[in-house]
């Protein structure tokens, strides 16, 4: 199967989609339409559907996208689903902020 090259402009929009989806409470809004996603991002619904279709089929026509699943797929595509161990030397104010941020993220 031949792989298509995904244009950089599409790759550059994926973090925006992920950020918007990450702000949505899945319990209250489990499904989002391309129209609603477009309203939140300023990108047309057709462009959103075209962008996402480059990576597979995520939504259902007339229904929309499962927010939880789409977030996971975007994280996978952007390679944000991996844990990376880092070392922190010289824990001043900035280092403490990084450590606190990491602790807060673990509680989520």
**Is residue 33 a contact partner of residue 53, using CB atoms and an 8 Å limit?**
no
Number of domains in the chain: 1
* CATH code of the domain covering residue 58: 1.10.10.10
Q: Is the pLDDT of residue 79 over 80?
A: yes
Q: Is the pLDDT of residue 46 over 90?
A: yes
* Domain membership flag for residue 1: no
Residue carrying structure tokens 């199967």: 1
* Domain membership flag for residue 93: no
Backbone angles phi, psi at 49, to 5 degrees: -60, -40
- The most confident of the ranges 44-48, 53-57, 101-105 is 44-48
3-state secondary structure of 29: coil
Q: What confidence category does residue 58 fall into, taking pLDDT thresholds of 50, 70 and 90?
A: confident
By DSSP bridging, strand 64-66 and strand 59-60 are antiparallel
Domain range for residue 58? 8-83
* Domain membership flag for residue 100: no
- The rounded radius of gyration (Å) of the Cα atoms in the chain is 17
* Domain membership flag for residue 3: no
Tokens standing for 34? Answer: 């391309």
* Domain membership flag for residue 2: no
**Is residue 14 a contact partner of residue 77, using CB atoms and an 8 Å limit?**
yes
């Amino acid at each position: 199967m031949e792989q298509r090259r995904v244009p950089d402009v599409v790759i550059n929009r994926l973090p925006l989609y992920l950020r918007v989806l990450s702000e949505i409470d899945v319990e209250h809004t489990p499904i989002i339409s391309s129209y609603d996603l477009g309203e939140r991002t300023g990108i047309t619904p057709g462009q959103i559907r075209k962008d996402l279709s480059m990576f597979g089929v995520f939504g259902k026509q007339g229904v929309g996208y499962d927010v939880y699943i789409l977030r996971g797929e975007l994280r996978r595509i952007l390679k944000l689903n991996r844990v990376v161990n880092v070392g922190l030397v010289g824990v001043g104010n900035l280092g403490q902020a990084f450590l606190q941020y990491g602790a807060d993220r673990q509680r989520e």
